[in-house]
């Protein structure tokens, strides 16, 4: 029985009720600031728009090895029935998500089913025939795959240039290049001595007289000349008025000081003038 109050209330039509429910529900998306409450009728989603990539396993052997290690099973005594059931569940999941990924696993699934059926069949009781374990080939492939996988992981853990380390190169400015003068050759020193000797011949006198020339005294004189600072020309260390004997003693004094690492012979370039200076430790 209806009362006057119920008759006075207007009834909601089904379109009005649907609109009210949509207004109360949260929007599916916000498109350009406007809420999207329902999907467009002409919306088309291609089958490949949403894909789930199962990249946890690199192949059928990797999946089998994962199932065995996860349950701590003995790889030499695999429970084929249990592993086959779990493997087929994974293949069915792959078929639901992405069919093309399941194709390469079907061969392994067929092999597992064959091994399972061979193990269920009764074996002949004759002792003459030796029947190999149907799982032997699968176990061999699994162990070989595990060795190669471990070797690949060990190689990937090694330091790699471009990933763990990066080469560094530094360029020196041309303003800071240190120019090392060429080495003074003995032949050039002798040529300079020959020039000094030639000039000394011009002051040779015919007076025969014995002179006592001290090598140590001449070394002290050479050091006194060089200690004034800077570079001293090689010819400036000789007094040509002393004749050949004085030049020879001065040359021997220079050689002794060079041998003792007290003096240093410097030449700016090949066939250039030779200069003498004190070594850095002596300055």
Is the entire prediction scored with pTM above 0.85? no
First to last CA, the chain: 128
For residue 248, CA distances in Å to 191, 197, 210, 223, 243 come to: 14, 9, 15, 16, 9
The burial class, CB within 10 Å (0-12 / 13-18 / 19+), for 247 is buried
Per residue in 219-250, pLDDT tens? 888 888 888 777 888 888 888 888 888 888 88
According to DSSP H, which parts of 25-98 are helical?
60-70, 80-97
- Averaged pLDDT for residues 35-40: 77
- pLDDT(34) > 60: yes
Paired tokens of 104:
């390469």
CATH node for 186-204+212-278: 1.10.10.580
Whether residue 264 has pLDDT greater than 70: yes
Sketch the domain layout of the chain as residue ranges.
60-121+133-156, 186-204+212-278
Share of the chain above pLDDT 90, in %: 0
pLDDT at residue 177 tops 80: no
For the ranges 105-119, 122-136, 186-200, the maximum mean pLDDT occurs at 186-200
How far is 163 from 159, CA to CA, in rounded Å? 8
3-state secondary structure of 68: helix
Q: Are 203 and 241 in contact (CB under 8 A)?
A: yes
The segment with the largest mean pLDDT, out of 14-18, 113-117, 163-167, 195-199, is: 195-199
Higher pLDDT, 238 or 209: 238
What residues are paired with 36 via a beta bridge? 29
Secondary structure letter of residue 161 according to DSSP: B
Rounded to whole angstroms, the Cα distance separating 196 from 238 reads 8
Across the chain, the runs of DSSP E, i.e. the strands, are: 29-31, 34-36, 232-233, 263-267, 274-278
Structure tokens at 117: 């059926």
The three-state secondary structure class of 53 is coil
Helix (H, G, I), strand (E, B) or coil at 123: coil
Sign (positive/negative) of CA torsion 69, 73, 79, 82?
negative
Mean pLDDT (whole number) for 6-24:
50
Q: For the chain, what is the mean pLDDT? A: 75
Mean pLDDT of 155-169: 84
Query: Between the ranges 32-36, 66-70, 117-121, 153-157, where is the mean pLDDT highest?
Result: 153-157
């Amino acid at each position: 029985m209806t009362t006057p109050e119920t008759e006075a209330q207007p009834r909601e039509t089904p379109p009005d009720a649907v609109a009210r429910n949509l207004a109360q529900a949260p929007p599916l998306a916000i498109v350009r600031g406007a809420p999207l409450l329902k999907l467009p009728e002409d919306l088309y989603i291609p089958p490949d728009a949403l894909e789930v990539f199962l990249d946890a396993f690199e192949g059928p052997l990797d999946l089998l090895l994962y199932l065995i290690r996860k349950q701590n099973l003995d790889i030499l005594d695999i429970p084929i029935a249990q592993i086959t059931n779990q493997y087929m569940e994974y293949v069915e999941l792959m078929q639901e998500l992405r069919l093309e990924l399941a194709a390469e696993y079907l061969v392994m699934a067929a092999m597992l089913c064959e091994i399972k059926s061979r193990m269920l069949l009764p074996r002949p009781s004759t002792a003459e025939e030796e029947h190999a374990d149907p799982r032997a080939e699968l176990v061999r492939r699994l162990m070989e795959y595990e060795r190669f996988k471990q070797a690949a992981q060990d190689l990937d853990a090694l330091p790699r240039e471009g990933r763990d380390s990066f080469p560094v190169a530094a360029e020196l400015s041309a303003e800071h290049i240190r120019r090392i003068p060429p080495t003074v050759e003995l032949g050039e020193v002798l040529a300079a001595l020959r020039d000094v000797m030639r000039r000394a011949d011009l002051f040779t006198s015919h007076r025969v007289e014995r002179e006592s020339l001290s090598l140590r005294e001449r070394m002290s004189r050479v050091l006194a000349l060089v200690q004034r600072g800077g570079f001293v020309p090689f010819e400036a260390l000789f007094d040509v008025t002393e004749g050949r004997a004085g030049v020879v003693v001065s040359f021997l004094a220079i050689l002794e000081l060079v041998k003792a690492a007290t003096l240093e012979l410097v030449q700016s370039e090949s066939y250039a003038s030779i200069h003498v200076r004190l070594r850095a430790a002596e300055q």
